[in-house]
Amino acid sequence: MTSHPVQSPQFFLTAPSPCPYLEGQFERKVFTHLVGEKASDLNDLLTQGGFRRSQNIAYRPACETCRACISVRILVDEFQPSRSMRRVLQRNSDLIAIEYPAEPSSEQYSLFRGYLDARHRKGGMSDMTVLDYAMMVEDSHVETKIIEYRISDPDSRITGKSTGPLIAVALSDVMGDGMSMVYSFYDPEHRDRSLGSFMILDHIARTRQRGQPHVYLGYWVAGSRKMDYKTKFLPQEHLGARGWERFCSKP
């Protein structure tokens, strides 16, 4: 019987299940638990190696016949917003974003529920209860923040805060080399604001203020239209067989 040091992570493999991104494909994932005093260091190391975090689990695709899922990170120091991104920033200049410790609220869950019902009714998260949401936010052994985006109110210029409507939320990990966007959602009634893109732009600004080089966006899947937006935030790097390499977009 082989013994393992207490701090040595053990990895497990899931059974095949239908791929949520590519029709006709099946996915498998390799995963480990992020617990204990070394959880943050392990999360940094695994994220840099292409893993993602969900609660106290770090996972990455381990599909037998497909390598379509590519880890993406934005190079913050070199990033300059495009003309369309500057329009997104201007369109959302009335928003106040406040970063908090990762604690759930009923207001967040109401927004989350509306987002799932409008955008992901048939997805794997569609039946999440308020307790499931609370676990998604709270069950973390690493430094995790929740960022609330509210429409400013008359006192916002004085207080820097807002009691206005909550229209978007981002759950993100603060790592040694940047921020990793774990999950984000928004009010589908405000789709004209391009809130998904705005939250990424806000994370780039926050990471730059922290003096860190990367914003991790998770996986990009070539051929999946729902993932196309990720490759617009240039320059960026993609993780391949030779490590992180600069991504060259097609003209």
Order of all β-strands in the sheet with 52-54: 12-13, 29-33, 57-61, 52-54
The answer to whether residue 38 sits within a structural domain is: yes
- What mean pLDDT is predicted for residues 112-127? 79
The answer to whether residue 25 sits within a structural domain is: yes
Q: List beta partners, residue 249.
A: none
What pTM was computed for the model?
0.92
- 108 in Cβ contact with 165 (< 8 Å): no
User: What pLDDT is recorded for position 103?
Assistant: 96
Percent of the chain with pLDDT over 70: 94
The answer to whether residue 121 sits within a structural domain is: no
User: What pLDDT is recorded for position 4?
Assistant: 43
- 103 in Cβ contact with 139 (< 8 Å): no
Does residue 125 register a pLDDT over 80?
Answer: no
User: What pLDDT is recorded for position 213?
Assistant: 98
Across 77-81, 122-126, 130-134, 226-230, least confident range? 122-126
- What mean pLDDT is predicted for residues 137-161? 91
Across 77-81, 109-113, 159-163, 235-239, least confident range? 159-163
Percent of the chain with pLDDT over 90: 77
Across 98-107, 152-161, 236-245, least confident range? 152-161
The answer to whether residue 63 sits within a structural domain is: yes
The answer to whether residue 23 sits within a structural domain is: yes
Closest among 17, 20, 34, 217 to 126, alpha carbons compared: 20
Q: Domain tally for the chain? A: 1
The answer to whether residue 22 sits within a structural domain is: yes
- Note down the domain range covering 33: 12-68
Report the distance separating Cα 190 and Cα 196, nearest Å.
11
User: What pLDDT is recorded for position 1?
Assistant: 38
- What mean pLDDT is predicted for residues 28-42? 95
User: What pLDDT is recorded for position 122?
Assistant: 64
The answer to whether residue 129 sits within a structural domain is: no
- What mean pLDDT is predicted for residues 109-119? 92
| Mean of all residue pLDDT scores within the chain | 91
Report the distance separating Cα 125 and Cα 76, nearest Å.
30
Q: Residue 6 to residues 32, 36, 38, 54: CA-CA distances in angstroms?
A: 13, 10, 11, 22
The answer to whether residue 52 sits within a structural domain is: yes
**38-83 pLDDT tens trace:** 999 999 999 999 999 999 999 999 998 888 999 999 999 999 999 9
User: What pLDDT is recorded for position 132?
Assistant: 95
Closest among 212, 147, 211, 209 to 181, alpha carbons compared: 147
Give 25's pLDDT tier (boundaries 50, 70, 90): confident
Does residue 191 register a pLDDT over 60?
Answer: yes
Helices 106-119 and 130-138, axial angle in degrees (round to 10) = 110
User: What pLDDT is recorded for position 167?
Assistant: 98
